[in-house]
Every structure is written in structure tokens, then in C-alpha cells.
Amino acid sequence: MEVNVKGVYNCLFAAIPQFRLSNGGVIINMASIAAWVGIPDRFAYSTAKGAVMAMTLSVAKDYIKENIRCNSISPARVHTPFVDGFISKNYAGKEAEMFEKLSQSQPIGRMGKPDEIAALALYLCSDEAGFITGCDYPIDGGFIKLNN
């Protein structure tokens, strides 16, 4: 909660006054598919990411007249050094097997790439996305809608 809720709140608290002074801006919050589906054994994480989605909607509503857009991105599992470290720490000697298992838990058959998440964030910050606010964007390899 300290990182995923309070951290987002603190960033909003710091950024919004600056955006108001400069006649607008774009905020992208990082939520998670956990907010959409609830992840087993991840009660606090799922709750925190749900709070991020709620903050996103509230900020979008509160500041729309001040030219401040606010959206969130909800990734599924993304292959990062954190994932590699988690696998190494918790599945020593079975890293390849666990990597494959985690990859196959995504309907698309692989984890997301950081560059794919970055590309969505870049688009949402662009002028081309100027009509988008108050939305959450799952980028999940089909996890939410295609998982059985």
C-alpha cells in the first residue's frame, strides 16, 4: 500500500499543481490486471492496484476542465529483471521451467516486454491521444478476456 497507493498519490499530489500552472498535462498511472481480476494470494496488491484505477478516474474527472488528462495502464506479467530475480530466488535450479510456466500463463504464450508497455504510455501522452482521459488500458496478452 505504501508504494502502490501512497506512492501514486504522492506523485499526483506533486504533479497536479505543476500541471495547473502550465495549463495542462498528461498523467499515466501504472495499475495492473490484478485490479481487474484479483490475483490469488495477492490480496493487498490487487486492492492497491484497484485503488490506482479509482484515483485515475477521480483525477480525470476533477481536472478535465484544466486540460489535465489522466489514464492508467494495466499490464499483465512483464519480463523484467525483477521477474528473473524472483525466479532465481524462489526456484533455484528450475529457472527455465518456471520461466516457461509463467510465460504460458499468458494466453498469448509469453510475457510482455517493457518496450510494449512504454509504447502504450508514449501514445497516451501524445497529442494523438488528446481525446482520451479517465481510461484504463489492459496490456495483457489476452489475460483478462481470453484466460479460461
Q: So which residues are the catalytic ones?
A: 45
Output the nine-digit C-alpha cell for 113: 516486454
User: What's the N-to-C CA distance of the chain in angstroms?
Assistant: 29
Angle between helices 43-63 and 7-21 (to 10 degrees): 10
3-state class percentages of the chain: helix first, strand second, coil last, to nearest 5: 60, 15, 25
Bridge partners (DSSP) listed for residue 26: 69
